[in-house]
Structure 1
Amino acid sequence: MNDQNDYLKDIHANLKSIKCIQGSNIFYKYQIKELLGNGQNRVYLGQDLFGRQVAIKEHHDANAMKKEVQLLEQLNHPNIVQYLDSCILLHSNNQYHQEQNGYICMELGKFDLDTYKKKKYPIGKELIDQTLSALAYLQRNKIAHCDIKPANILVMQRDPIVYKICDVAQSKRQESEFLQAGTYKYMSPEMLNNNAKNYYLSDVFSLGLLFLYVFRDFSISWMQRKNLTDIEFIEQLINKIDENDDEISRLLKQMIQLNPEDRLDFIKLEEYWHQQQQKEEKQEFNLTQTRQLRAQSNFFSIQEDQYYATGKFFRQPQNSKSKGSRKQLLQQFQSISPQKKSLLLQKQPNSTSKSRKFQQQVLPLDNYFQKLPKSPEKSKTSSPTKTIVIGKIQLPQLKEERTNSFKIRPFQF
């Protein structure tokens, strides 16, 4: 690590002695902060004067660097890392030795997918949507990635989540010569056996292994896989896929196939995934509608029960002040004498049209919510205790007693 720090310091200390062969020297614009990765090509963290951070990839092969730059300049997709700048510098270590190095400046992600998963951040179906979209875009442009693995998928931001594919250095065109490419752990069986005839279908298998790692927590080391035959390895993958029955499992079955011709390429996979998503959304919509209707029906039934329980809906007798139950109302109606019941059902010629309509109907005993009719009116007769108001004095008016009429005959002497 100290050697790397010394190397980074030498780059900035000897900027004037470094000759730029192609492009503009990006180290005048960006200052290298640290080493991000030390694989086949080193990747540095660069920062400009405004605090903007970028990834600077170093190439020891200038021709490979030119090829990658030429490829990156043609790509324009929201889920593929954007190319920013590049240059080729001539380093003079001493008067007898000179070295050409290429540098590519690209977007910087916050995490790679492997680190993102190990931090136990949630990973949803957006990963499938965006990676399939990017790889289908590459296939339409006749480009195969040839090195699909979690380290080559970057998380650019979390809200909303954005994934981007990076490191297209090993990308190949379908018409190019078929050579072994990729990382052993994520290679397809035919690529591992150096017998690949379709780069796209080989990448499909690699992406399937990546999805198994992310969504099913399946991981196998290179040494473990090396001890398995291709059929044993495929059977182990299928058993892991069959543990779940969802749209992701159905997608994986289209990707994890021993025979490459049984797999769908990225363009067909993208269409298949969209169809599965539409079916899933339709089922969820229908289920949501059913739940809403069921919830509404339950809600109204509850509301009606509560409304009826208050007694406001039922028409109780006018003389009844308490809100009686159904049995009490029935008992009140049944307690009426038969003579009164017969009077209720009789037609009165002098009644109004509204009362006639009610009297013509026979009132059933169990129809308790209807208003009970009034008892027949009593004949209006003068009461013996009826008072007569004379000014301010009230005198009782007594009923005249009826006596037998008789005649008084005069008495004759």
Structure 2
Amino acid sequence: MEQGSTPQYEPMAEIGEGAYGTVYKARDSLSGKFVALKNVRVQRNEDGLPPSTVREVALLKRLEHFDHPNVVRLFDVCATVRADRETKVTLVFEHVDQDLKTYLEKAPLPGLPAETIKDLMNQLLNGLAFLHSHSVVHRDLKPENILVTSRGQVKLADFGLARIYSCQMALTPVVVTLWYRAPEVLLQATYATPVDMWSTGCIFAEMFRRSLQETFGSEHYLLHQLTSF
């Protein structure tokens, strides 16, 4: 994509907004297919791109040639220099119909059948095993960052907090969304790939309970329970 313009992708609707950018559903004018655009705006007097954006692009580029069925694909990276001393960086991903949070909310009572949960968890663990086998810690697994296609295919997404892990590396203690934090993160201890497994366990419980907060209570209660042993 030529720098300074993104005419190939026509935004159609906003589908999400997070700390690091807004996500839009768009149409690729060349292929006619839908894609997801994640826009990140950077003031030109800032020292480069946000680390989260750099990490996300680098990690997905590193994993791209494996084309794993349970990891979202990054198609393109575009940069547009704007007149207001701002650069807009657009990450172009494959478009997936919904995230796991929406999928769970749409499920009729009493909830997902056990066989469906088993299938979703199998795909989630396959994607996670692939990441961990390449020394990648996701660090922000939650239903909003797990995509589910109309055919029930699971894809891990949003790698803004992910890191390449090594035994010698110190990782920041403030990661993972509140309800999915592992004990070692809550206690600000050293951690590694098992934090993703804890988050996955929380998601597994949520698939059955439909509300993780009701299942586990507040962070303060959980931290009290952990430190009382």
Listed as ranges, the matches of 1:86-125 within 5 Å are 86-93=77-84, 98-120=85-107, 122=112, 123-125=116-118
- Larger relative helix fraction: 1
Aligned pair 1:133/2:114, yes or no?
Answer: no
- Larger relative strand fraction: 2
What SS does the aligned partner of 1:126 have?
A: helix
Evaluate the alpha carbon distance shift between residue 73 and residue 229 of structure 1 in structure 2; reply closer, same or farther with a 3 A threshold.
closer
AA aligned opposite 1:184: L
C-alpha distance in structure 1 between counterparts of 2:40 and 2:192, whole Å: 24
C-alpha distance in structure 1 between counterparts of 2:146 and 2:10, whole Å: 25
Match of 1:364? none
Match of 1:331? none
Match of 2:26 among 38, 43, 46: 46
Evaluate the alpha carbon distance shift between residue 229 and residue 120 of structure 1 in structure 2; reply closer, same or farther with a 3 A threshold.
closer
Structure 2: any 5+ residue segments left out of the alignment?
43-48
What SS does the aligned partner of 1:220 have?
A: helix
Query: How big is the shift at 1:52?
Result: 1.4
C-alpha distance in structure 1 between counterparts of 2:129 and 2:97, whole Å: 24
The answer on whether the counterparts of 1:24 and 1:86 sit within 8 Å (CA) in structure 2 is: no
Q: TM-score, normalised by structure 2?
A: 0.81
C-alpha distance in structure 1 between counterparts of 2:184 and 2:41, whole Å: 30
Query: How big is the shift at 1:181?
Result: 1.1
TM-superposition CA deviations, 1:242-288 (whole Å, max 9, x none): xxxxxxxxxxxxxxxx9xxxxxxxxxxxxxxxxxxxxxxxxxxxxxx
AA aligned opposite 1:182: V
Structure 1: any 5+ residue segments left out of the alignment?
1-21, 236-257, 259-413
The answer on whether the counterparts of 2:5 and 2:79 sit within 8 Å (CA) in structure 1 is: no
Match of 1:72? 60
AA aligned opposite 1:54: V
What SS does the aligned partner of 2:150 have?
A: strand
Evaluate the alpha carbon distance shift between residue 34 and residue 74 of structure 1 in structure 2; reply closer, same or farther with a 3 A threshold.
same
TM-superposition CA deviations, 1:84-142 (whole Å, max 9, x none): 0011221112xxxx012211000111111011111116433111111111111111111
The answer on whether the counterparts of 2:80 and 2:88 sit within 8 Å (CA) in structure 1 is: yes
Listed as ranges, the matches of 1:144-183 within 5 Å are 144-158=137-151, 161-175=152-166, 176-179=169-172, 180-183=174-177
AA aligned opposite 1:37: G
Report which structure shows greater RCO (CA 8 Å, sep ≥6): 2
What SS does the aligned partner of 2:153 have?
A: strand
Match of 2:183? 189
Query: How big is the shift at 1:82?
Result: 0.7
Aligned pair 1:31/2:10, yes or no?
Answer: yes
Evaluate the alpha carbon distance shift between residue 25 and residue 133 of structure 1 in structure 2; reply closer, same or farther with a 3 A threshold.
farther
C-alpha distance in structure 1 between counterparts of 2:162 and 2:200, whole Å: 15
The answer on whether the counterparts of 2:104 and 2:210 sit within 8 Å (CA) in structure 1 is: no
C-alpha distance in structure 2 between counterparts of 1:87 and 1:177, whole Å: 32
C-alpha distance in structure 2 between counterparts of 1:186 and 1:108, whole Å: 25
The answer on whether the counterparts of 1:146 and 1:199 sit within 8 Å (CA) in structure 2 is: no
C-alpha distance in structure 2 between counterparts of 1:230 and 1:142, whole Å: 28
C-alpha distance in structure 1 between counterparts of 2:179 and 2:76, whole Å: 32
Match of 1:57 among 38, 45, 63: 38
The answer on whether the counterparts of 2:3 and 2:80 sit within 8 Å (CA) in structure 1 is: no
Query: How big is the shift at 1:25?
Result: 5.4
Query: How big is the shift at 1:232?
Result: 3.2
CA RMSD in angstroms, aligned pairs only = 2.6
Question: Which structure has the greater CA radius of gyration?
Answer: 1
C-alpha distance in structure 1 between counterparts of 2:89 and 2:144, whole Å: 22
Q: TM-score, normalised by structure 1?
A: 0.46
Runs of 4 or more consecutive aligned structure 1 residues displaced over 3 Å after TM superposition: 22-26, 229-235
Evaluate the alpha carbon distance shift between residue 220 and residue 233 of structure 1 in structure 2; reply closer, same or farther with a 3 A threshold.
farther
Query: How big is the shift at 1:231?
Result: 6.0
Listed as ranges, the matches of 1:5-404 within 5 Å are 24=3, 27-40=6-19, 41-49=21-29, 51-61=32-42, 62-64=49-51, 65-75=53-63, 76=66, 77-93=68-84, 98-120=85-107, 122=112, 123-158=116-151, 161-175=152-166, 176-179=169-172, 180-195=174-189, 197-220=190-213, 224-230=217-223, 232=225
The answer on whether the counterparts of 1:110 and 1:157 sit within 8 Å (CA) in structure 2 is: yes
C-alpha distance in structure 1 between counterparts of 2:87 and 2:61, whole Å: 22
AA aligned opposite 1:88: A
TM-superposition CA deviations, 1:338-360 (whole Å, max 9, x none): xxxxxxxxxxxxxxxxxxxxxxx
